[in-house]
């Protein structure tokens, strides 16, 4: 079986690195081919990397509260770039101030994300979701 | 801002030429008139002067909270800082938003408009440069007591600090390491130091005219669980860089990791060595305004309110036992998002209780562990600083630049690609932080042996290796209400 | 329950005759079958046994929260204690309501009915006697871990403790002084001791048959600001009284007043002297199960949530530094009313953080102040106990009774008319508690001189006399987030 | 001027003494003749003492949460006893659990109290109210 390829990174002007680092390492240990873009990654770079590596999923992080601004229109750009089929995940603190995880989930699903993860996400479970979603798409 | 940057005072003419470019970055730059700004600063009361406030706290034997605050609009800011004033918080942080930090002033404008229209909060901080001197002075003038102090970014500090000081801010987070090492991915250490020299030189310009603006030196904020050795060494290096540009007042910032003895040792050792190195390198006239302690925000706070209060009260406790003047406090909303005014208020109510009750008792802690940690920390910090000065041929700037390239100073988990990332830290059995991997840190063999013993003890206790897994476990420990990350047994 | 009460084991036949009257006070008394109750107790797991829990905590070097809890209905109680269990609180207090405490069981019945009908909370605690063995056992059986422990009253303890122990409760607040000195207006100390002897004898009866029920000794809870000398002396006196009736397991309770050195000194000295006096008077087989510390609830908590968390976290800190097994915790709602389940949960989340983080560090505090306070406290407690034993001719019960009449043991602000009320306490400049008036306390001259010096220093600092005004100022200090009550300047 | 006489005490089965002690002392220092009944005082005793001493006011305390039960019908008893004109004050924690001071005030005013005081009451102010009320009644 070919290793599935995934892109990780912190989107926009966000500099919080720890979450995406831990996630990247966990993904690698779980058998993924991980392209780790790190912090301060413009949405275009995610798309570029996904095209170049023929990625199966993009796993974005954002903690600084301005994610919505950063990713509005991202799904559309992905479609334009022919990445319709790439899974989009996002996780972190997805707005300014105390959050309601349910609201965040709805909001970012509307913006085109397949799954939305709150802080303190158990990464094992998230990676389990990823396997399941890839399987459902017949990618693994 | 050349890569061949050195620890050498920028010539005044050169500086004034640089200024023109800086001020042209955004229209509000034109609001800055240095002569007028100096007069404005001179008229500020002592109660708004960072240095004076620190000195008074020291005399009175008090500790106060140092907040993390910043909100997008002038009205909200005035309301927020007045609340902080009511909560007896005399250091008024102005955290700027992330667009400002990237010089994206047009986006800021759009966001401000959107917020005005819809009431929705978008910016995660105060857009200092867009609001300009006029806007910021409104805020400075809205309180009676409190020294304002901006948090900006590598890119935006030059123009940001021009506006900040002209607006009457009297302190600033001034070290280059924090931006370069914790907020940036691609920036170069030499460029970063060069960029900060501009701000230091600006403060020197004020100082030459009798206005003392104080530099907080945070050093290289080390991400994740690792000893604060490199952090403390770089705070001292930063003070030396600032001093060379004419800065006359600096603060010793100590980042804490949660073991009382180790934290107190760091609090004792850091300002002492800062004084020594400043004196030895010809900066005896630089005042160390005070000490600022904080549980380094590089691991997550508990999300539950009970745990959040405990953690923040613990910070207050350690600060008070350490007799620092100010203690940087994370609000009880830290893990949840930008705190509300109410969260700020409740947080300070709580930590003020601890500050008052502990400082009032005039407790002098004596524990043999403090003495041991102090000795180890001193050996470590000296070894690093002396090595940096050696490879820099006595020039601390050159030393730091080379030091980064060689991993003489290093950190795990840094977002910056330039960082070696060869060190790993874990907690020992009492929650003190030790190196499991030393990378290229030039630590004395005796010190390394000490770390190895403590790490071996932990490995025996846990029955696991001291590796990446362990550091991650330890990283989450406080968040889960534990001192040390316990291994998960299958 | 005669006024000529002595420290002498009640004869078993006599005890059994007394029982009949006690059990007849309310129909649920009939539910108590001693033989069956002893079997029931023996089948309880260690995780529900007070003594075993204490011993395990000691071995593991842990501190846990000791709650204050009690709610009127069985359903609410089960929900509450399960929440406490989730919060890792293994001591499950059952505070009874004030009607039960006055034997007004009919009123209790009416209130229970009313609550059932309207949902309105009326009773301020759990009506143990009305619910009876059947009701209480449902609660005991609803958790996996946790030793239940009732709080009743002078009048209701005899029947209440019969029901409690038969229901599987394994600990009890057992000293006569707390009721007589803090809850009563007209009761006589001799009668109070006599009444408690019944319960002690009942525990002795269980002990003779292999079931160890543990007595918390709170001593004479001293109201307002005053040194805990008399309190600690009476906890030891209580242990001696219990031991004589056959009790085999006691706890040393230490009430704290907020100065770290003094509080830690009391924590160190109290169990040590309790052991010594028990041994010396022939009760060497009595186990001191553990120590229980608490910031004595005799001044009001802060009403604000920030201050409330700080105060309660401070209690946890001192308990953990004192390495006590359990620390009685006031919830963050203490000043507001009976806490909700959520307030309980948040409170334990917070204090557990402190317990874990502090105990994990294995901190051995050494401060010269602790040694000084320890010496003073020891001299004071010995002086009082020895005097009581002297005037009682070796009989601690007689000594205590005479001691109250003579003011050898005394307290300010007691509600009981029998109390001399000749002492006054104030804080010294570091927040330690000193006597401003000694009344008839038989303290050594050296000790008195020590108090006088400290008080004089405080008077100089405040510029006011150490009098009633000052004690009231100090009483409110923690409530206002201050260590010491500052004089209000005109 | 004759010293006005006031009765203090903690009503019902409540044993919290500190508030009523401090209040009694403050009243005495403010020039009142204070009859201090202490804790655990049945309502009947308040009435008896008021009759015996021809009192101008009764200042009850209650902290333990069961005040409502204790004082229901008290005003009526006072009237029966001919104490219509005696001022009734109550203070403390007037129910079980977190309180709303306004609600407590309304409730106890309905029960016949002239003034209702929350915890942390500044006693100087309360005593000021008492002087004012007595003056309004022409008693001082
Ligand atoms: C450490 C930290 C910093 C460090 C970052 C160091 C670094 N380079 O990483 C420093 C000090 C530099 C910093 C800076 C700032 N910070 Co900061 N920071 C934190 C802190 C304390 C911890 C973050 C962290 O590392 N958590 C641990 C990691 C492992 O968790 P995580 O990233 O959330 O990831 C987990 C999950 O979310 C999930 N996850 C995350 N992404 C994804 C993606 C996928 C696909 C999946 C499946 C899962 C997943 O999995 C991870 C494991 O569970 C938080 C507050 C807190 N939580 O206690 C504030 C916080 C995030 N910071 C905040 C802010 C505002 C800032 C600043 C803007 C202002 C400032 N304080 O200077 C700057 C921003 C700079 C920038 N351009 O972004 C705010 C955000 C506010 C909001 N959203 O409302 C917070 C919440 C603090 C606060 N309450 O104010 N910060
Ligand atoms: C000290 C204390 C005790 C001591 C009392 C010692 C004594 N004999 O006085 C002890 C330990 C014995 C005790 C026992 C109990 N207590 Co208690 N106790 C407290 C505590 C900590 C402080 C009370 C106090 O002294 N406050 C200071 C005084 C000066 O304030 P005050 O009485 O409120 O008076 C002020 C104002 O209210 C006002 N005021 C009062 N009365 C009046 C009257 C007038 C006319 C005016 C103008 C003003 C006024 O003026 C004063 C000055 O500002 C409170 C919680 C807290 N506040 O922190 C709990 C508390 C009052 N107790 C409580 C309870 C439940 C009990 C017990 C039933 C259970 C138990 N824990 O054992 C027993 C009750 C026994 C009984 N039969 O009443 C609850 C009441 C719950 C509720 N109402 O919802 C509280 C709130 C704690 C809690 N959160 O659970 N307690």
- For chain D, give every domain's residue range: 5-136
Question: What pLDDT, on a 0 to 100 scale, did the predictor assign at position B297?
Answer: 65
Centroid of ligand 1 to alpha carbon of C355 (angstroms)? 27
Q: Which helix (H) or strand (E) holds C157?
A: helix C157-166
A96 touches chain B (CB under 8 A): yes
Q: From D112, D38, D27, select the one nearest D68 (Cα to Cα).
A: D112
- Mean pLDDT, range A121-134, rounded to an integer: 96
What is d(CA B28, CA B48) in angstroms, rounded to the nearest whole number? 23
**From the CB of residue C340, how many other CB atoms can be counted at a distance below 10 Å?**
16
pLDDT of residue C295: 85
pLDDT digits (tens, 9 = 90+) for C10-40: 999 999 999 999 999 999 999 999 999 999 9
For B483, the closest of C302, C349, C360 (CB atoms) is C360
Say if the Cβ atoms of C351 and B311 lie within 8 Å. Answer: no
The pLDDT score that the predictor gives to residue A140 is: 87
Subunits with 3+ Cβ pairs within 8 Å of D are: C
3-class state of residue C5 by DSSP? coil
User: Ligand 1: does its nearest atom lie under 6 Å from the Cβ of A101?
Assistant: no
Q: Is the pLDDT of residue D23 over 60?
A: yes
* pLDDT of the residue at C341: 87
Asked whether the beta carbons of residue D12 and residue C98 sit closer than 8 angstroms, the reply is yes
Whether D93 lines ligand 2, by a CB cut-off of 6 Å, is yes
In this predicted structure, the answer to whether residue B2 has a pLDDT above a threshold of 70 is: no
Judge whether D133 counts as a catalytic residue. Answer: no
Q: What tens digit of pLDDT does each residue of A45-60 get? A: 999 999 999 999 999 9
* Fold exhibited by the domain A5-136: Rossmann fold (3.40.50)
Of A18, A97, A119, the CB nearest to B335: A119
d(CA C187, CA C185): 6
Average pLDDT in the B19-41 region?
97
| Cβ atoms of D110 and D96 closer than 8 Å | no
Q: Contact, B380 vs B433, CB < 8 A?
A: no
**Alpha carbon C115 to its chain's center:** 30
Put simply, whether A118 touches B (Cβ < 8 Å) is no
Give me the residue label for tokens 């207006």.
Answer: C185
Q: What is the mean pLDDT of residues C46-52?
A: 98
Torsion of CA A46, A52, A55, A59, to 10 degrees: -20
C-alpha D10 – ligand 1 centre gap (Å): 54
Cα four-point dihedral sign A35, A40, A46, A48: negative
CB atoms within 10 A of CB C228: 27
- Whether B134 shows a pLDDT value over 70: the answer reads yes
* D42 contact partners, CB below 8 Å, separation of at least 6: D11, D12
Answer whether A66 contacts ligand 1 (Cβ < 6 A): no
Nearest to B304 among C349, C356, C431 (CB): C349
Sequence-ordered list of residues with C-beta below 8 angstroms from that of B34, at least 6 positions apart, any chain: B166, B205
Task: Describe the crossing of helices B74-86 and B128-140 by its angle, rounded to 10 degrees.
Answer: 40
Could you tell me which residues come within 8 angstroms of residue B319 by beta carbon, excluding any fewer than 6 positions away? Answer: B63, B293, B294, B326, B327, B355
What distance in angstroms lies between residue D62's CA and the mean position of ligand 2's atoms?
8
Q: Which atom of ligand 2 is nearest to the CA of D94?
A: 83
Domains, in order of start, for chain B:
12-359 (3.20.20.240), 368-480 (3.90.970.10)
Put simply, the answer to whether B360 touches C431 (Cβ < 8 Å) is: yes
Using DSSP's 3-state secondary structure scheme, residue B66 falls into strand
pLDDT of amino acid C128: 97
Residue range D77-99: mean pLDDT, rounded: 94
Separation between Cα atoms, residue B343 and residue B210, nearest integer Å = 38
Q: Are C305 and B346 in contact (CB under 8 A)?
A: yes
| Kind of pairing between the strands at C249-256 and B326-328 | unpaired
- End-to-end CA separation in angstroms for chain C: 54
Residue closest to C29 by CA, chosen among C118, C129, C99, C165: C129
In this structure, are strands D5-10 and D57-62 parallel, antiparallel, or unpaired? parallel
Q: Is the pLDDT of residue C3 over 80?
A: no
pLDDT band at C297 (very low <50, low <70, confident <90, very high): low
**Per-residue pLDDT, C71:** 87
> Whose alpha carbon is nearest atom 58 of ligand 1?
B300
Cβ within 8 Å of C, D 36-65: 38-40, 64-65
Q: Cα(B196) to centroid of ligand 2, in Å?
A: 58
What pLDDT was estimated at residue C401?
Answer: 97
Q: In angstroms, rounded to a whole number, what is the distance separating the alpha carbons of residues D96 and D104? A: 11
Please write down the HEC assignment for all residues of C360-384. Answer: HCCCCCECHHHHHHHHHHHHHHHHH
Query: What is the pTM assigned to this prediction?
Result: 0.95
**CB of B63 closer than 8 Å to CB of B319:** yes
The mean per-residue pLDDT over the stretch C70-86 comes to 92
User: Where do we find the tokens 């600092």?
Assistant: C461
Q: Which helix (H) or strand (E) holds B182?
A: none
**Is-contact C408 C387, C-beta < 8 A?**
yes
Q: Which residue of B has its CA nearest to A118?
A: B336
Residue in this structure with the two tokens 């669980």, named with its chain if needed: B225
B223: nearest Cα among B42, B473, B475, B2 = B475
Span C305-335, pLDDT tens digits: 999 999 999 999 999 999 999 999 999 999 9
pLDDT range class, residue C490, cuts 50, 70, 90: low
Structural tokens at position B53: 């406030």
CA distance A58 to A81: 14
C169 and C203 Cβ atoms separated by less than 8 Å: no
Supply the residue whose CA is at minimum distance from atom 67 of ligand 2. D64
* Residues β-bridged to residue A58: A7, A88
C224: left (phi over 0), alpha (psi -120 to 50) or beta: left
Q: Which residues of A are catalytic?
A: 14, 16
Lowest-pLDDT range of A71-75, B1-5, C15-19, C315-319? B1-5
What is the band of B390 on the pLDDT scale with cuts at 50, 70, 90? very high
Check: CB of residue B255 under 8 Å from CB of residue B296: yes
Percentage, residues of chain C above pLDDT 70: 99
Q: What is the pLDDT of residue C34?
A: 96
B364–C366 C-beta distance less than 8 A: no
Could you tell me where the DSSP H helices lie in A41-113? 43-53, 67-71, 74-80, 101-110
Q: Which atom of ligand 1 is nearest to the CA of A65?
A: 83
Nearest CA in chain C to B344: C306
Residue D59, ligand 2, Cβ within 6 A? yes
Cβ contact C481–B346 (<8 Å): no
Q: How far is Cα of residue A47 from the mean position of the Cα atoms in its chain? A: 12
pLDDT at B98: 86
Query: Tens digits of per-residue pLDDT, B220-259?
Result: 999 899 999 999 999 999 999 999 999 999 999 999 999 9
> With 50 as the cut, is the pLDDT of residue D57 above it?
yes
| C252-267 residue pLDDT tens | 999 999 999 999 999 9
ipTM beyond cut 0.90:
yes
Q: H helices within B300-361, ranges in order? A: 305-321, 341-360
What does the pLDDT read at residue B245? Answer: 98
Site of tokens 């009942």: C202
Q: Closest-lying ligand to the alpha carbon of B336?
A: 1
Query: Measured at the alpha carbon of residue B363, what is the angle toward residues B361 and B366, in degrees to the nearest 5?
Result: 165
Looking at residue C1, its pLDDT comes to 42
Interval C463-474: pLDDT, tens: 999 999 999 999
The closest residue, in CA terms, to atom 51 on ligand 2 is D19
Query: Which of residues C124 and B143 earns the better pLDDT score?
Result: B143
Distance CA C62, CA B295 (A): 24
Rg of the Cα trace of chain B? Answer: 22
pLDDT of residue B308: 97
Q: Which of A121-130, B198-207, B304-313, C67-76 has the lowest mean pLDDT?
A: C67-76
Of B309, B314, B431, the CB nearest to C360: B431
d(CA C315, CA C318): 5
Q: How far apart are CA B303 and CA B313, in angstroms?
A: 15
């Amino acid at each position: 079986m070919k290793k599935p390829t995934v892109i990780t990174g912190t989107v926009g002007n966000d500099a919080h690195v720890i979450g995406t680092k831990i996630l990247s390492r966990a993904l690698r240990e779980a058998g993924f081919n991980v392209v780790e873009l790190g912090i301060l990654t413009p949405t275009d770079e995610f798309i570029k990397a996904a095209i170049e590596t023929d990625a199966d999923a993009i796993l974005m992080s954002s903690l600084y509260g301005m994610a919505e601004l950063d990713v509005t229109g991202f799904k559309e750009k992905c479609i334009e770039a022919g990445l319709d089929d790439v899974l989009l995940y996002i996780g972190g603190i997805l707005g300014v101030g105390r959050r309601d995880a349910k609201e965040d989930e709805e909001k970012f699903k509307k913006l085109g994300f397949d799954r939305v993860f709150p802080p303190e996400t158990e990464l094992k479970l998230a990676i389990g979701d990823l396997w399941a979603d890839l399987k459902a798409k017949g990618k693994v | 801002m050349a890569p061949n940057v050195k620890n050498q005072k920028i010539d005044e003419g050169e500086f004034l030429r640089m200024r023109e470019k800086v001020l042209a970055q955004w229209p509000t730059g034109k609001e800055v008139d240095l002569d007028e700004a100096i007069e404005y600063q001179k008229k500020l009361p002592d109660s708004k002067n960072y240095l004076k406030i620190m000195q008074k706290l020291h005399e009175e034997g008090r500790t106060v909270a140092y907040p993390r605050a910043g909100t997008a609009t002038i009205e909200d800011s005035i309301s927020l800082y007045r609340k902080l004033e009511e909560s007896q918080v005399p250091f008024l942080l102005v955290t700027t938003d992330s667009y400002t930090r990237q010089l994206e002033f047009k986006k800021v404008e759009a966001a401000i408009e959107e917020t005005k229209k819809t009431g929705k909060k978008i910016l995660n901080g105060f857009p200092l440069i867009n609001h300009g001197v006029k806007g910021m002075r409104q805020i400075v003038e809205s309180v009676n007591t409190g020294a304002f102090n901006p948090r900006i970014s590598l890119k935006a500090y030059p123009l940001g600090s021009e506006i900040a000081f002209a607006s009457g801010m009297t302190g600033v987070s001034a070290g280059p390491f924090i931006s370069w090492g914790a907020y940036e991915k691609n920036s170069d250490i030499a460029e970063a130091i060069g960029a900060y020299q501009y701000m230091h030189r600006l403060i020197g310009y004020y100082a030459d005219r009798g206005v003392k603006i104080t530099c907080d030196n945070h050093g290289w904020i080390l991400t994740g669980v690792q000893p604060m050795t490199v952090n403390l060494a770089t705070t001292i290096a930063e003070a030396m860089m600032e001093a060379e540009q004419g800065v006359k007042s600096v603060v010793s910032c100590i980042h804490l990791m949660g073991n009382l003895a180790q934290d107190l040792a760091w609090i004792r050792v850091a300002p002492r060595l800062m004084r020594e190195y400043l004196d030895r390198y010809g900066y005896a006239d630089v005042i160390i305004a005070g000490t600022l302690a904080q549980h380094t925000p590089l691991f997550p706070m508990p999300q539950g309110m009970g745990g959040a209060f405990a953690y923040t009260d613990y910070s207050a406790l350690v600060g008070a036992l350490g007799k620092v003047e100010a203690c940087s406090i994370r609000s009880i909303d830290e893990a949840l998002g930008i705190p509300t005014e109410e969260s700020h208020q409740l947080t300070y109510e709580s930590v003020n209780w601890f500050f008052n009750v502990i400082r009032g008792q005039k407790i002098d802690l004596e524990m043999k562990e403090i003495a041991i940690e102090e000795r180890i920390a001193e050996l470590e910090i000296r070894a690093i600083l002396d090595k940096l000065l050696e490879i820099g041929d006595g020039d601390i700037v050159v030393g730091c630049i080379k030091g980064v390239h060689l991993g003489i100073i290093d950190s795990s988990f840094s977002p910056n690609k330039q960082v070696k990332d060869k060190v790993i830290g874990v907690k020992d059995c009492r929650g003190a932080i030790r190196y499991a991997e030393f990378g290229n840190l030039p630590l004395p063999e005796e010190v390394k042996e000490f770390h190895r013993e403590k790490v071996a003890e932990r490995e025996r206790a846990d029955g696991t290796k001291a590796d990446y897994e362990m550091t991650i476990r330890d990283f989450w420990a406080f968040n889960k209400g534990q001192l040390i990350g316990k291994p998960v047994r299958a």
